[in-house]
Amino acid sequence: MYINKNKKDINYIQVNEYGEITSNWPSGFLDAAYNATMEIMKNKSVKVES
């Protein structure tokens, strides 16, 4: 399940019995994951430098 907070949408990502994605990626899904990852890395680097 992917929840787009900006559009108030809930999208279900379908997977098969092997865990492979069988539906289309929701729009913005990879952007949100990338931005979250970059924020985590930025916060970790600040802690390391302190």
Q: Give the number of domains in the chain.
A: 1
Res 32: pLDDT: 76
Res 23: pLDDT: 84
Two structure tokens written together for 27 = 């729009």
Tens of pLDDT, residues 1-50: 666 666 677 778 888 999 888 887 766 667 777 888 889 988 887 666 65
Q: Which domain does 40 fall in, by range?
A: 2-49
3, 8, 34, 40, 49 from 43: Cα distances, Å:
24, 27, 14, 5, 10
